[in-house]
Amino acid sequence: MKNILVIGATGQIGSELTLELRKRYGNTHVVAGYIQGAEPKGELKESGPTEIVDVTDQEVIEAVVKKYQIDTIYNLAALLSVVAESKPKLAWKIGVDGLWNVLEVARMHGCAVFTPSSIGSFGTDTPHTQTPQDTIQRPRTMYGISKVTTELLSDYYYTKYGVDTRAVRFPGIISNVTPPGGGTTDYAVDIYYSAVKGEKFVCPIGEGTLMDMMYMPDALNAAISLMEADPTKLVHRNAFNIASMSFAPETIFAAIKKHVPGFEMTYEVDALKQSIANSWPDSLDDTCARNEWGWKPMYDLESMTIDMLQKLRAKL
Ligand code: VAH
């Protein structure tokens, strides 16, 4: 990777991925693509090139790829699971039509492409415990349907045109820089903010609801390590199961309460979020990622909690 374009560079993952890539590859080699209304600010804006890149406009993508001689595209443009249910056609337009634009430009200009899939690509018929790498995927959310389609479309461009497409199925990602926008797992970020602000947390996900989660540093390392991996070792490509921890609300609450003794939580279950969460796996089997490109998480719930509380106390 020499010249990289991050599409969706001001989102929850994109904003931290862009800075991490700039650290590893040099500021001038990583272009932050954003859409109007979501302009980069601060270090993201000052540390390297930025361009308006609307994933639904193939000509714009191509112009930026040519201008900076891009050889790798991280395509993070997507609506998250809850928002996607209220705007299904827009979710498809961004998630699938947008990816098609990226893949066409990648085909014409020889770019590698990373497009995250999600545990949301599994459905109620999928085995929930230690969900296998290769298994049934019949999600009933627009988010899931679009993610399964991005996996299949990315594989299609690899097998038919030789485009170097790679992807991981991200679990819920917990971070302290850019808040997530409209996801089912957002509660696992919001709970830390409530704890640091000294507020009671009202949890929208019911007790006992297991979901796979990951700390942002591990998620960034997964995306970059996969794109740096030896392609001859990859049996799978779109998309790898990756896992680091799986917990229910009461577990993350207890982990935080150990460090914030007065912290309190109640439940007000959100029906839509709960129905989506119920359709997702309880835990994933990530053996293929470990074997094919050396995936290994660094954080668990305790070490993530310590770091999150420390970073949010400094920030807030
Ligand atoms: C969401 N944070 O909740 C995203 C993610 C697996 C969860 O895809 O929609």
With the CA atoms of 67, 71, 73 and 74 taken in that order, what torsion angle do they form, in degrees rounded to the nearest 10?
-130
Which residue in 34, 74, 143, 192 is the catalytic one?
143
Q: Does residue 91 sit within a domain?
A: yes
Are 183 and 68 in a shared domain? Answer: no
Q: What angle do helix axes 187-197 and 301-315 make, rounded to 10 degrees?
A: 50
Q: Summarize pLDDT for 167-188 with one digit per residue, the tens.
A: 999 999 999 999 888 999 999 9
Q: Summarize pLDDT for 68-127 with one digit per residue, the tens.
A: 999 999 999 999 999 999 999 999 999 999 999 999 999 999 999 999 999 999 999 999
Which DSSP state fits 30? E
When divided into structural domains, the chain yields a total of 2
Ligand 1 atom 8: the closest Cα is on which residue? 118
Active site includes 193?
Answer: no
| pTM of the complete model beyond 0.85 | yes
List ligand 1's pocket residues with C-beta within 6 A.
80-81, 118-120, 143, 171-173, 180, 183-185
Task: List phi, psi (to 5°) of 109.
Answer: -120, 10
Please report where in the chains the tokens 């990859």 appear, as a residue.
Answer: 234
- Cα(286) to ligand 1 centroid in Å equals 18
Are 208 and 220 in a shared domain? Answer: no
pLDDT given at position 5: 98
Tell me the CA distances in angstroms from 120 to 28, 145, 279, 288, one per residue in order: 34, 9, 8, 19
Range of the domain at 195: 172-213+245-283+298-315
pLDDT given at position 34: 98
Q: Does residue 128 sit within a domain?
A: yes
Q: Is the pLDDT of residue 278 over 80?
A: yes
Atom in ligand 1 nearest the alpha carbon of residue 170: 6
Q: How buried is residue 272: exposed, middle or buried, by Cβ count under 10 Å (0-12/13-18/19+)?
A: middle
Q: Where are any strands of DSSP class E within 130-171?
A: 165-166, 168-170
Are 194 and 204 in a shared domain? Answer: yes
Q: Does residue 153 sit within a domain?
A: yes
Per the CB < 8 A criterion, the answer to whether 188 and 301 are in contact is no
With the CA atoms of 45, 51, 57 and 60 taken in that order, what torsion angle do they form, in degrees rounded to the nearest 10?
-170
Ligand 1 atom 1: the closest Cα is on which residue? 183
Classify strands 168-170 and 240-241 as parallel, antiparallel or unpaired: parallel
Are 118 and 252 in a shared domain? Answer: no
Q: Domain holding 72: CATH number?
A: 3.40.50.720
Atom in ligand 1 nearest the alpha carbon of residue 84: 9
Are 236 and 220 in a shared domain? Answer: yes
Q: How buried is residue 274: exposed, middle or buried, by Cβ count under 10 Å (0-12/13-18/19+)?
A: middle
Ligand 1 atom 7: the closest Cα is on which residue? 172
Are 184 and 230 in a shared domain? Answer: no
Confidence at 1, pLDDT banded by 50, 70, 90 = confident
Q: Summarize pLDDT for 49-75 with one digit per residue, the tens.
A: 999 999 999 999 999 999 999 999 999
Among 80, 121, 276, which residue has the most ligand 1 atoms within 8 Å of its CB, making it the best to mutate?
80
pLDDT given at position 181: 87
Please report where in the chains the tokens 């293929």 appear, as a residue.
Answer: 288
Per the CB < 8 A criterion, the answer to whether 135 and 126 are in contact is yes
Are 78 and 226 in a shared domain? Answer: yes
Mean of the per-residue pLDDT values of the chain:
97
